Amino acid sequence: MQNILDAMSVLRTLCRSSAEQLLRPFSTKSLPTLTLFTKDPCPLCDEAKEVLEPLKHRFVLQQVDISLPENKLWWDRYKWDIPVFHLNGQFLMKHRVNLGLLEKLLQDIEKQQT
């Protein structure tokens, strides 16, 4: 525990956002879940994951392959719309990543946790 406290003391001298990123593994707060409904192949899904790369430390990415038999419900709902994203179980966006919207919602979640 003392090692963690010492590390936190050193990190306070760093930029606030950098310190938060480095301390995240020690945080008791859980990251929001961003669910990607996808199938293979899905070039738009691959593109969307690349767009999400700068924010990936702020959420857990869960992928759901809608082509699997156990995901028939999602296939029926999203077969023409992938990629589709849900944030913490709620529909967020489809077809393309809206970074502005995702950033705003992640900030809201992070503020609620502080």
- Compute the distance between CA of residue 8 and CA of residue 76 in angstroms, rounded to an integer: 48
User: Along the 114 residues of the chain, how does pLDDT read in single tens digits?
Assistant: 555 544 444 434 333 444 444 445 555 579 999 999 999 999 999 999 999 999 999 999 999 999 999 999 999 999 999 999 999 999 999 999 999 999 999 999 999 988
Q: Where are the domains of the chain?
A: 1-28, 31-113
The rounded Cα 14 to chain-centroid distance in angstroms is 25
Task: Give residues with Cβ within 8 angstroms of 102, minimum separation 6.
Answer: 34, 52, 55, 85, 87, 92, 93
Q: Residue by residue, what is the 3-state secondary structure of 33-100?
A: EEEEEECCCCHHHHHHHHHHHHHHHHCEEEEEECCCHHHHHHHHHHCCCCCEEEECCEEEEECCCCHH
What would the CATH number be for the domain defined by 31-113?
3.40.30.10
- Rounded to a whole number, what is the distance in angstroms from the first to the last CA of the chain? 21
pLDDT at 14: 37
